[in-house]
Amino acid sequence: MSQADDPGHPAGPDGSASAGDHAFAGGPAGGSAPPRGGRNLTLAVGSAVLFAVLFLVSAFVNAWAMLAFVAAIEVIAILEVDAALRTADGRPPTTAVLLTGIPMLAAAYVYGPAGQLTALVAMVLGVVVWALASRRDPAPLRSAGGALLIGMWVPYLASFLGLLLRRPGGEWFIIITVALTAASDIAAYAVGSRIGRRKLAPAISPGKTWEGAAGGLVAAMLVAGIAAPLLVDDVSLGLAIALGALVALVAVAGDLAESAVKRSLGIKDLGRLLPGHGGMMDRVDAMLFTLPVAHLVLLAGGL
């Protein structure tokens, strides 16, 4: 997710998003892609490639390497959201989230849904107790609410990667899910920047269009229908297409959720870690939503 959907990046004079827009941006009247001013395209592409290479390397080393890689991403994302909430005078007990939420990923991988649920309960209790025990916090319930937002948004949703990974050949399910999320995003930008006209959610993210979302949906279904049955023997064509469709739809929801948080806080980005992409959350917002959906779709398909 890029910066154009945020309050600091207004729409252009033709009603389309400004430079550096997100994948669903509506382009100018002439139909050409919007300029990328304000965003270093070389750095954007380079950081995306580096991120992808590190992800693939971790996927094929072993399961624990992937879990460690994802846990590191979680820590960065948690700290980004914490910093964003503090701009609005929030005081979430984020240390409690780090101590109790990060192990949820490994618990889901080792013990399955029971381990995930146990870790989730531990995180909720840990956050609430930590917040209430603080004597210097004038609004402990508000702080606990902020920390629970962080915990449910980042470590809980990310823990579904552990459930995907514990399946036989689980690394392929994760790679497919990430690839479908990326394919949807890329296709949505390609379509939305050229023919996007009707705004998808103007109050939250004025750059996104229905045309772009439809392009992302079609692309994800095509990629899933072709690639998933080839990479995993047990995935039928129908299940693959359903997976692609739901991943594309939920990826939009993940993007909009982050845009809504940033808009409510009045900030442009949740961080500046990745050149050309903003923070880590700007890179993984959609994936946090697509991982649970992939797990549930595969579960419904008997996998």
Q: Are 254 and 286 in contact (CB under 8 A)?
A: yes
User: First vs last Cα of the chain: how many Å apart?
Assistant: 30
Which parts of the chain sit beneath pLDDT 70?
1-41, 44, 274-277
pLDDT at 283: 87
Residue pLDDT, tens place only, 165-202: 999 999 999 999 999 999 999 999 889 989 988 999 98
**What are the pLDDT digits (tens) for 204-236?**
988 889 999 999 999 999 999 999 999 988 899
Instruction: Enter the tokens of residue 184.
Output: 């949807």
Region of 61 (left: φ > 0; alpha: ψ -120 to 50; beta: rest) is alpha
Count Cβ atoms within 10 A of the Cβ of residue 49 and give its class: 0-12 exposed, 13-18 middle, 19 or more buried. Answer: exposed
Q: For 270, which DSSP code? A: S
Q: How crowded is residue 53: how many other Cβ atoms within 10 Å of its Cβ? A: 10
Per-residue confidence (pLDDT) for residue 35, from 0 to 100: 40
| Structural contact between residues 250 and 223, judged by C-beta atoms closer than 8 angstroms | no
The per-residue pLDDT for 110 is: 98
- In this prediction, residue 213 carries a pLDDT of 95
Sequence spans of domains, the chain: 3-10+20-300
pLDDT value for 293 = 97
Predicted pLDDT of residue 137: 84
User: How wide is the angle at C-alpha 63 spanned by C-alphas 59 and 69, nearest 5°?
Assistant: 65
53-62 contacts at long range (C-beta below 8 A, 24 or more positions apart): 55/178, 56/175, 59/171, 59/174, 59/175, 60/171
Helix 113-133 and helix 94-101: axis angle, to 10°?
A: 160
pTM, whole model, 2 decimals? 0.85
**In angstroms, rounded to a whole number, what is the distance separating the alpha carbons of residues 146 and 5?**
23
What's the CA gap between 151 and 78, in Å, rounded? 8
With H, G, I as helix, E, B as strand and everything else as coil, classify residue 201: strand
According to DSSP H, which parts of 93-139 are helical? 94-101, 103-111, 113-133
Cα–Cα distance, 240 to 180 (Å, whole number)? 10
Q: How far apart are CA 156 and CA 118, in angstroms?
A: 11
* The pLDDT value given to residue 281: 92
If residue 209 lies in a helix (H) or strand (E), which one and from where to where? Answer: strand 205-209
- Residue 138: burial class (beta carbons within 10 Å; 0-12, 13-18, 19+): exposed
Q: How far apart are CA 26 and CA 34, in angstroms?
A: 8
- Picking from 44, 99, 57, the residue whose alpha carbon sits closest to that of residue 74 is 99
Cα gap 151→88, rounded to integer Å: 18
